[in-house]
Amino acid sequence: MLRRKLLFLLVSLTVLVTGCKPTPDVAPMSATPIRIGASYWPGQFWADIANQKGWFKEAGLNVEMVDTNADYFASFDQVVKGELDIVAFTLYDLTLYQARGNDVVGFLASDYSSGADALVVRPGIGTVRDLAGKKIGLPKGTYLEYMWAVLLGRNDLKPDAVQIVEMSAEKGADELRSGRVDAIFTWEPFVGDALAKTGGKKLFDSSQIPGISWTIYASRGDFLRQHSSEIHKLMQVWKRTEEYIHKEPNEAYAIVAEVNRTTVAEVRAFAQLDKSLNPNENRAAFSYAGGFDSLHGSARRMNDFQIQAGLVNNQIESPKLLDSSFIHELTRNDFPASMTQ
């Protein structure tokens, strides 16, 4: 009997001691949650997947995903106010917010649109030039208006040749069907919705100008400084998840479909309209150049447009807008030492 009691105590003590040890594969959890805006967009699929797979927790990150699909543009203000910590801004809006004096800094280029943003017109309109004297619906002051301005220039139309009607991108399909406007500039899945509801067609999409519309994960500058260790961990999770999406797209898209209550086929089709960047492509995007293929070059073009349009008065300094240190650290071992200095 005594022998049995001793054996029981030994087993119980072993269970108690081993149960107190942290799981070897899971890092200590950060106390305060990092609030990340979640939106249904290919460049943001990784965050939903990592959250569902438990990879944030494995990295020791206490992440709270906040749905921003109902009003994507409102999430930018939430970052500035401290209601959210990290959101995937369009580069255009990130530039706009900093030019207006907000301390917002981009640290990860997740993707650029390669067909996901489009100009949809009602039946009977055959070319961009046919829109002269007509109405286009889009949210003013956003990257969609900037893309529209670029498109106007490429078709030798002056800005006042077409009347812009203020409306949210999410509601554009219904406005086009109602006849209130002759065309809309919006993004997927609302592009597909507009085509289905109106029988119209696309006259332009972002695949025709690669790099015209970047998406950048950004936060407040003070948050990045105070939470740099967590951001480095977040970058590692992003890299892991992007590799998983590339290797196991069917499984990855199934997770995205479940989270966003849609079909795997729809998710897969959506992913083809947006170019998600791998770490080395991301590093290249942060390099200095003057064209659309550089974040710095694109940001300066966008800022010039914003000043000309009277949206801002200040010229931005792109090195203050874009923090490449996190992607450089992530890819340090992928480049010769001479290239990392």
Q: Which two tokens stand for residue 338?
A: 């001479």
Residue 82, sorted as left (phi over 0), alpha (psi -120 to 50) or beta, turns out to be: left
CATH class of residue range 34-112+212-339: alpha beta
Q: Which residues contact residue 237 at a Cβ distance below 8 angstroms, ignoring those fewer than 6 apart?
A: 50, 55, 56, 59, 61
Question: Shortest CA distance to 97 belongs to which of 110, 113, 80, 85?
Answer: 80
Burial of 337 (0-12, 13-18, 19+ CB in 10 A): exposed
Per-residue pLDDT reduced to its tens digit, 155-204:
999 989 999 999 998 889 999 999 999 999 999 989 999 999 999 999 99
Which amino acid type is present at position 318?
A: S
Q: How far apart are CA 90 and CA 58, in angstroms?
A: 29
pLDDT value of position 11: 38
DSSP for 267-299 reads: HHHHHTTEEEPPHHHHHHHTS--SSTTSHHHHH
Helix, strand, coil distribution of the chain in percent, nearest 5: 50, 15, 30
Confidence of residue 293 (pLDDT cuts 50, 70, 90): confident
Per-residue pLDDT at 6 exceeds 70? no
Confidence of residue 23 (pLDDT cuts 50, 70, 90): very low
Coil, strand or helix at 159: helix
Q: Which two tokens stand for residue 273?
A: 């309209």
Confidence of residue 24 (pLDDT cuts 50, 70, 90): very low
How many secondary structure helices (H) and strands (E) does the chain include? 16, 11
Confidence of residue 329 (pLDDT cuts 50, 70, 90): very high
Helix or strand (DSSP H, E) at 104: strand 104-113
Confidence of residue 16 (pLDDT cuts 50, 70, 90): very low
Same fold, 34-112+212-339 and 117-208: yes
Phi first, then psi: give them for residue 201, nearest 5 degrees: -150, 165
**CATH assignment, 117-208:** 3.40.190.10
Alpha helices in 60-123 (DSSP H): 74-81, 91-99
Residue 226, sorted as left (phi over 0), alpha (psi -120 to 50) or beta, turns out to be: alpha
Confidence of residue 291 (pLDDT cuts 50, 70, 90): confident
Q: How far apart are CA 337 and CA 82, in angstroms?
A: 38
Radius of gyration of the chain (CA): 23
CB 285 within 8 A of CB 307: no
Task: Please count the other Cβ atoms lying within 10 Å of the Cβ belonging to residue 304.
Answer: 12
pLDDT value of position 289: 83
Confidence of residue 9 (pLDDT cuts 50, 70, 90): very low
pLDDT value of position 236: 97
Per-residue pLDDT at 138 exceeds 60? yes
Per-residue pLDDT at 142 exceeds 80? yes
Per-residue pLDDT at 19 exceeds 50? no
Task: Please count the other Cβ atoms lying within 10 Å of the Cβ belonging to residue 193.
Answer: 18
CB 284 within 8 A of CB 295: no
Per-residue pLDDT at 148 exceeds 70? yes
Q: What is the mean pLDDT of the chain?
A: 89
Per-residue pLDDT reduced to its tens digit, 46-76:
999 999 999 999 999 999 999 999 888 899 9
Q: Which two tokens stand for residue 164?
A: 């812009």
Domain residue spans of the chain = 34-112+212-339, 117-208
